[in-house]
Amino acid sequence: MPPETERRLAIRAPQNFVGGLALIAVGVVGLLAARELDTGRFFAVGPALLPRGVSFLLGVLGLGLVAASLLRDGDPLGRWPLRGPIFVFLGVAAFALSVRTAGLAVAGPLVAMVSGAGSPQTRPRELIVFAILVTALCIGLFRYVLHLPIPILIVPGVLVL
Amino acid sequence: MMKRLLLFAALLGLASGGARAAAYPERPITLIVPFAAGGPTDVVARIVGDHMSRTLGQQLVIENVTGAGGTTGTTRAAQANPDGYTIVMGHMGTHGAAPAVYPNLKYDPQKDFLPIGLAAGTPILIVAKKAFPPKDLKEFVAYAKANSEKLNEAHAGVGSVSHTTCSLLNSILGIKPTRVPYQGTGPALNDLVGGQVDYMCDQIVNLTPQIQAGTIKAYAIATEKRSPALPGIPTTKEAGLPEFQVTAWNALFAPKGTPKEIVAKLNDALVKALDDENTRKRLLDLGGVISDRSGRTPEALGTLVASEIARWNKVLRPQTAAK
Amino acid sequence: MTDLLANLALGFSTALSLQNVFLAFIGCLVGTLIGVLPGIGPIATITMLLPITFGFDPVGALIMLAGIYYGAQYGGSTTAILVNIPGEVTAIVTTLDGHQMARQGRAGAALGIAAIGSFFAGCVATIVIAALAAPLVKLALLFGPAEYFSLMVLGLAFAVVLARGSVPKALAMILIGLLLSTVGTDLETGAERLTFDLTALTSGIDFAVLAMGVIGFAEVLKNLETPELRDLAKQPIGRLLPGREDLKRSAGPIVRGTLVGTALGIIPGNGAVLGPFASYALEKKLAKEPERFGKGAIEGVAGPESANNAGAQSSFIPLLTLGIPPNAVMALMVGAMTIHGIVPGPLVMTKNATLFWGMIASMWVGNLMLLIINLPLVGIWVKFLDVPYRLMYPAILVFSCIGIYSVNNSPSDVLLTGIFAVVGYALLKLGFETAPLLLGYVLGRLMEENLRRALLLARGHFTTFVERPVSAGLLGAALIVLAAAILPSVRRGRAEVFTE
């Protein structure tokens, strides 16, 4: 490609470029999801008005942001370290999946330990002890002091606390 | 030898099953209330559950699981372990109108539940804003029929008691008012008091203070007898609209498969609670209606559920289909 | 006048009985301790603590409950400042500058000014309620759906002012918030919107889930990026409480915030939500150096916190006078009252004067309690920040997960929060701000509901919004606020609008 064209198409503000694309994507998803909703009868604004209108506006803003990213300088994308987000998400998901099937006594340490692994400074043994302590504290507080109806320990077929 | 061992084991199993039922309850029981804490059903559940806890010797822990007109919590109860440690306080909506209102309902009120017994019901009233022209029910009926399109009816959202009961009223009167939804009874009542909407059908619990203060007016109560909480309000029978009879009943259910002995124990505790003077007083003060002994059996509840499902099916399905 | 004094005397004699003072103290203390736990907002706190009030007489129980409520509110503000997790809607604004102050080692000053501002606001609000409750409510009843809609539009205009950086990016966030608020079952038709047939989404996205994920957890993720910096940047704590300079700067915002909060809190139907946002926008516009906002300006904490507490107190008015709860927390209070045998309504003021005036007087007592309890506690909370982050954040996550679960006993809510955490992190990395998103979400629901309701009642005539005087006035104000927010940026140059 000739150098001038290359320069013209350069993304000068990568962060805004990706941001703009993200907005367009959200807008498209919104429009798709609101497909089957009816836009309303004569005097009653239907359930589709806001979702469709907003999705459309988002798409427009996204396009604007993408255009601006090609014309003006902006922030670079920067580092996106994945260790933290992945472990935290897995930890929270583990809690969600285990709290009603295995109980808080299992879910608590799970979320603390799995998400704790997301920090480069974790010390595994310290984390395990801490996780168990915090969970014990929570069980005492929420179940026995506050009577929150949260399952503590479930062993299928044998035990339900 | 083998056969005797097997027989012995079977007998032991049966006996321990019976023993387990006899020992029930050994730990706290979860009572799922499919509505927000503080609402009418929740209050009834707490009052009744309080006394039942004492009879059963184990705490009845209330777990509020809200959503979708009460069906989210009811679905969870339907899928719970039928060991007697999870029961649900269902009501006219969740176990009567739900099949007609929610096409994708994930449970069957009759097949997925065993009735335990009726708790307390709250009668429905027809109320209107203070400045509304009609002075009594007869005038209201005439006015409504003549001015159907101009009317604004408030309700607490599709699937709520106020929506379902007013659907019945509207179909009896043959009117098609503009139905204005609100996020709950509070905001709806607010606009009624403020005069932004014309009329509403709702449970007595929510309305009594307003009626007594005169900020809204009540035309009739849709039960057989007048309510002691509001003795000045005529019944729909007295006022000329006997077809509008509806009470928002609340009842306890257990998931299907729960052992019969446990259901019987729960029913017993419920009946004792409803006999207790203190509990009765608290429920009656709210305007609640407690059925007599014959209406408190599981069988009576089962019959009620069947008839309610049929009734709401007739009233609501044409409306849901028309949307 | 003598009537008022007589009533207040009755109220104070009730509220200052030894038992009731004790109950108010316990209520505030317990409410604060539980409300401070990340993930546990006022509704969860009150629901959990409701049973402990059962043993007492109705007036005492209600005083205790009210104490729990104030405590929970303040606890929510504490978490907002310390760990950037807003306990409820009104604490969102506190996270903006409050948490920044904490990062700069000024957590004590932030917490202290929040307590002082709240106390002042509480005192003023109590007097307003005592003197003007009945007539104020009549005024508020003039608010119909059209007026609410216009008020929410004004709120959205505030959201734009809130933006720390580029306006279009903030707009985009507000729009996403609006979009998220439509997820769920449509109130009017019962149709499911944007739920992708997932049961978890049928009832919409809970505020706690969104706030926790997009603001709270995302903050955790951001901190994990540069762990070494965070631990090393432990500033010497310095002053634990606000200094003279802080107090001087905060005086104006506190007074203005109180006025704004009280005015908005009286409007039944959750007008109190807008108080902190309006106050923040006001202070930012009035400040001599608006760039300080968003980076730890104490005015950004003083004003909103006062508005917050004033709103919380004055939202009791519709409850005590009309018996109609203006929001979910008050609805819970109504339930609590009903369980105790008191049905709140217009007659409570006259039939049960002891209760009415006792509660009003105990509001003042409760505010005093909060101040007494919290100022010493500031030292303890600040010590918490010393815990190494690698241990603190798992603890935050455990509490938060339990808290989210307890809102509706639903594990899918917890999972949803996790997803929003990742989304929030991505948004932060892309240079977007998350506070406008939450505001868009809160306002979106209210706005759309009232828009459609107003149109239903007006049979489709859009002119209703300008025909009704209050509504027209509010819309006009919104236009002015928007212009004031956008024009300076436009003048600076169109291109720069996109890139700050």
For residue B262, pLDDT over 60 is answered with: yes
Question: Which residue in chain A has the smallest CA separation from B32?
Answer: A149
Q: Which of C65, C93, C75 has its CA nearest to residue C366? A: C65
pLDDT at B299: 92
C235 pLDDT band (50/70/90 cuts)? low
Backbone angles phi, psi at B290, to 5 degrees: -110, 130
Specify whether the CB–CB gap between C230 and C389 falls below 8 A: yes
Kindly state whether residues A12 and A35 are assigned to the same domain. Answer: yes
Min CA distance, B134 vs chain A (Å)?
A: 27
CB C431 to CB A19 under 8 A? yes
Half-sphere exposure of B73 (CA within 13 A, CB side): 30
pLDDT at C232: 38
- From the list C172, C398, C430, the residue facing A58 with the nearest CB is C172
pLDDT at B249: 92
Give the burial class of C233: count Cβ atoms within 10 A of its Cβ; 0-12 exposed, 13-18 middle, 19 or more buried: exposed
Kindly state whether residues A99 and A145 are assigned to the same domain. Answer: yes
CB A149 to CB B27 under 8 A? no
pLDDT at B106: 87
CB B30 to CB A149 under 8 A? yes
Question: Which residue in chain A has the smallest CA separation from B64?
Answer: A149
Inter-chain contacts counted by CB atoms under 8 A, chains A and B:
10
Min CA distance, B82 vs chain C (Å)?
A: 19
CB C187 to CB B208 under 8 A? no
Return the structure tokens found at C409. Answer: 């006993």
Kindly state whether residues B50 and B194 are assigned to the same domain. Answer: no
Would you tell me the crossing angle of helices C107-140 and C299-314 to the nearest 10 degrees? 40
Distance CA B56, CA B46 (A): 15
On chain C, the residues whose CB falls within 8 A of the CB of A13 are 499
On chain C, the residues whose CB falls within 8 A of the CB of A142 are 402, 406
Would you tell me the crossing angle of helices C58-83 and C107-140 to the nearest 10 degrees? 130
B306 pLDDT band (50/70/90 cuts)? very high
Instruction: Please state the rounded mean pLDDT for residues C359-378.
Output: 83
Residue B204 lies in a domain: yes
Distance CA B183, CA B186 (A): 8
Min CA distance, C243 vs chain A (Å)?
A: 36
Specify whether the CB–CB gap between C280 and C304 falls below 8 A: yes
CB B64 to CB C459 under 8 A? no
List, as one string, the DSSP characters of B10-76: HHHHHHHHHHHHHH--SS-EEEEE-S-TTSHHHHHHHHHHHHHHHHHTS-EEEEE---GGGHHHHHH
SS3 content of chain C, % helix, strand, coil (to 5): 75, 0, 20
pLDDT at C500: 38
Question: Which residue in chain B has the smallest CA separation from A157?
Answer: B81
DSSP 8-state assignment for residue C335: H
Last residue of a domain, one of A41, A71, A101: A71
Looking at the structure of chain B, the number of domains it has is 2
Out of A61-65, B71-75, C194-198, C457-461, pick the least confident: C194-198
For residue C58, pLDDT over 90 is answered with: no
Instruction: Please state the rounded mean pLDDT for residues B101-123.
Output: 90
**What share of chain C in percent tops pLDDT 90?**
8
Residue B9 lies in a domain: no
Kindly state whether residues B139 and B210 are assigned to the same domain. Answer: yes
Which residues, at least 6 apart from C447, have a Cβ–Cβ distance to it below 8 Å?
Answer: C149, C152, C153, C155, C156, C178
C216 pLDDT band (50/70/90 cuts)? confident
Min CA distance, A57 vs chain C (Å)?
A: 8
CB B27 to CB A160 under 8 A? yes
For residue B318, pLDDT over 70 is answered with: no
Specify whether the CB–CB gap between B168 and B246 falls below 8 A: yes
List of chains touching A (3+ CB pairs within 8 A): B, C
Interface of A with B in 100-159 (CB under 8 A): 147, 149
Specify whether the CB–CB gap between B288 and B44 falls below 8 A: yes
Min CA distance, C242 vs chain A (Å)?
A: 32
Looking at the structure of chain A, the number of domains it has is 2
Kindly state whether residues B153 and B220 are assigned to the same domain. Answer: yes
Distance CA B300, CA B292 (A): 11
Interface of A with C in 110-139 (CB under 8 A): 111-113, 115-116, 118-123, 126-127, 130-131, 134-135, 138
A37 pLDDT band (50/70/90 cuts)? low
For residue B315, pLDDT over 50 is answered with: yes
Distance CA C44, CA B274 (A): 30
Kindly state whether residues B161 and B220 are assigned to the same domain. Answer: yes
Domain of residue A110: give its range: 83-127+137-160
pLDDT in tens, C338-368: 777 777 777 777 777 787 888 788 888 888 8
Which residues, at least 6 apart from A26, have a Cβ–Cβ distance to it below 8 Å?
Answer: A55, A58, A62, C176, C179
Residue B301 lies in a domain: yes
For residue B322, pLDDT over 80 is answered with: no
Domain of residue B78: give its range: 29-121+248-322
For residue C228, pLDDT over 60 is answered with: no
Backbone angles phi, psi at C125, to 5 degrees: -60, -40
Tell me whether the omega of the peptide bond preceding residue B25 falls within 30 degrees of 0, making it cis: yes
Out of A39-43, C162-166, C462-466, pick the least confident: A39-43
Residue B6 lies in a domain: no
Mean pLDDT (chain C) is 81
pLDDT in tens, B43-71: 899 889 989 999 998 888 888 888 778 88
Give the burial class of A60: count Cβ atoms within 10 A of its Cβ; 0-12 exposed, 13-18 middle, 19 or more buried: middle
List of chains touching C (3+ CB pairs within 8 A): A, B
Task: Please name every residue paired with B86 in a beta bridge, in sequence order, or none if there are none.
Answer: B30
DSSP 8-state assignment for residue C215: I
pLDDT in tens, A98-113: 998 888 999 999 999 9
Residue B229 CA: distances (Å) to CA of B208, B211, B223, B285: 8, 11, 13, 7
Specify whether the CB–CB gap between B114 and B77 falls below 8 A: no
Return the structure tokens found at C284. Answer: 């930012």
Residue B210 lies in a domain: yes
pLDDT in tens, C413-445: 999 999 999 999 999 888 888 888 888 888 888
Residue A49 lies in a domain: yes
CA C19, distance to chain mean position in Å, is: 30
Residues shown for chain B: 323
- From the list A42, A48, A130, the residue facing C391 with the nearest CB is A130
pLDDT at C237: 47
CB B194 to CB C141 under 8 A? yes
Q: What is the residue type of B299?
A: E
Instruction: Please state the rounded mean pLDDT for residues B211-229.
Output: 88
Residue C368 CA: distances (Å) to CA of B222, C4, C108, C306, C374: 49, 21, 19, 14, 10
Segment (H or E) for B115: strand B113-129
A8 touches chain B (CB under 8 A): no
List, as one string, the DSSP characters of B171-219: HHHT--PEEEE-SSHHHHHHHHHTTSS-EEEEEHHHHHHHHHHTSEEEE
For residue B166, pLDDT over 90 is answered with: yes
Distance CA C374, CA B302 (A): 55
A154 touches chain C (CB under 8 A): no
Min CA distance, A144 vs chain C (Å)?
A: 11
Kindly state whether residues B174 and B191 are assigned to the same domain. Answer: yes
On chain C, the residues whose CB falls within 8 A of the CB of A93 are 415, 418
- From the list C324, C326, C341, the residue facing B282 with the nearest CB is C341
- From the list C190, C324, C459, the residue facing B159 with the nearest CB is C190
pLDDT at B263: 93
Distance CA C150, CA C152 (A): 5
CB B43 to CB C339 under 8 A? yes
Specify whether the CB–CB gap between C163 and C489 falls below 8 A: no
Distance CA C332, CA C194 (A): 29
Kindly state whether residues A12 and A56 are assigned to the same domain. Answer: yes
pLDDT in tens, C273-283: 788 888 988 88
The ipTM (two decimal places) reads: 0.87
Place of tokens 């505010």: C367
CB C179 to CB A78 under 8 A? no
Min CA distance, B260 vs chain C (Å)?
A: 28
- From the list C322, C347, C457, the residue facing B193 with the nearest CB is C322
- From the list B27, B61, B81, the residue facing A149 with the nearest CB is B61
Question: Which residue in chain B has the smallest CA separation from A40?
Answer: B323
Q: Which residue has the higher pLDDT, A101 or C375?
A: A101
Residue B17 lies in a domain: no
Last residue of a domain, one of B206, B239, B272: B239
Kindly state whether residues B191 and B299 are assigned to the same domain. Answer: no
Backbone angles phi, psi at C30, to 5 degrees: -65, -40
Half-sphere exposure of C111 (CA within 13 A, CB side): 34
On chain C, the residues whose CB falls within 8 A of the CB of A63 are none
C346 touches chain A (CB under 8 A): no
- From the list A147, A160, A161, the residue facing B61 with the nearest CB is A147
Kindly state whether residues A61 and A92 are assigned to the same domain. Answer: no
For residue A42, pLDDT over 70 is answered with: no
Mutate to test the interface with C, among B32, B53, B72, B185 (most CBs of C within 10 A): B72
Distance CA C248, CA C237 (A): 21
Instruction: Please state the rounded mean pLDDT for residues C376-383.
Output: 79
Q: Which residue has the higher pLDDT, C391 or C185?
A: C391
Kindly state whether residues B270 and B190 are assigned to the same domain. Answer: no
Residue A55 lies in a domain: yes
Specify whether the CB–CB gap between A22 and C428 falls below 8 A: no
Long-range Cβ contacts of A76-79 (<8 Å, 24+ apart): A76/A14, A76/A15, A77/A14, A77/A15, A77/A18, A77/C429, A78/A15, A78/C429, A79/C225
CA B26, distance to chain mean position in Å, is: 29
DSSP 8-state assignment for residue B126: E
Residue C5 CA: distances (Å) to CA of A43, B117, B273, C10: 52, 52, 45, 9
CB A160 to CB B85 under 8 A? yes
Task: Please name every residue paired with B114 in a beta bridge, in sequence order, or none if there are none.
Answer: B254
Distance CA C126, CA C132 (A): 10
Min CA distance, B63 vs chain A (Å)?
A: 6
Instruction: Please state the rounded mean pLDDT for residues C13-19.
Output: 81
Query: Positive or negative, the Cα torsion across B43, B48, B50, B56?
Result: negative
Q: What is the 3-state secondary structure (H, E, C) of B234-286?
A: CEHHHHCCCCCCCEEEEEEEEECCCCHHHHHHHHHHHHHHHHCHHHHHHHHHC
Mean pLDDT (chain A) is 82
For residue C495, pLDDT over 80 is answered with: no
Write out the residues of chain B at the interface with chain A, using a CB-CB cutoff of 8 A.
27, 30, 59, 61-63, 81, 85
Q: Which of B310, B297, B289 has its CA nearest to residue B247? A: B289
Where helices occur in A34-82 by DSSP H, the ranges are: 49-71
Kindly state whether residues A114 and A87 are assigned to the same domain. Answer: yes
Residue A77 lies in a domain: no
Kindly state whether residues A87 and A155 are assigned to the same domain. Answer: yes
pLDDT in tens, B5-23: 666 555 555 555 455 556 7
On chain C, the residues whose CB falls within 8 A of the CB of A64 are 168, 498
Distance CA C133, CA A3 (A): 74
C468 pLDDT band (50/70/90 cuts)? confident
Residue A115 lies in a domain: yes
On chain A, the residues whose CB falls within 8 A of the CB of B81 are 160
Instruction: Please state the rounded mean pLDDT for residues B75-86.
Output: 90
Kindly state whether residues B142 and B223 are assigned to the same domain. Answer: yes
A19 touches chain C (CB under 8 A): yes
Last residue of a domain, one of B192, B208, B239: B239
Inter-chain contacts counted by CB atoms under 8 A, chains A and C:
211
Q: Which residue has the higher pLDDT, B295 or A111?
A: A111
Return the structure tokens found at A110. Answer: 């799970």
What CATH number does the domain containing B172 carry?
Answer: 3.40.190.10
Specify whether the CB–CB gap between C262 and C130 falls below 8 A: no
Out of A40-49, B110-119, C69-78, pick the least confident: A40-49
Query: Positive or negative, the Cα torsion across B311, B314, B316, B317?
Result: positive
- From the list C318, C338, C408, the residue facing B43 with the nearest CB is C338
pLDDT at B298: 92
Question: Which residue in chain A has the smallest CA separation from B76?
Answer: A100
CA B96, distance to chain mean position in Å, is: 9
Residue A132 lies in a domain: no
Min CA distance, B10 vs chain C (Å)?
A: 39
Instruction: Please state the rounded mean pLDDT for residues C174-186.
Output: 88
Question: Which residue in chain C has the smallest CA separation from A80?
Answer: C429
Q: Which residue has the higher pLDDT, A7 or A146?
A: A146
On chain A, the residues whose CB falls within 8 A of the CB of B85 are 160
What CATH number does the domain containing B108 carry?
Answer: 3.40.190.150
Return the structure tokens found at C325. Answer: 């709860």
For residue C205, pLDDT over 50 is answered with: yes
> Other CB atoms closer than 10 Å to residue C347's CB: what's the count?
16
Last residue of a domain, one of B239, B263, B288: B239
Residue C149 CA: distances (Å) to CA of B228, C180, C449, C473: 41, 18, 8, 12
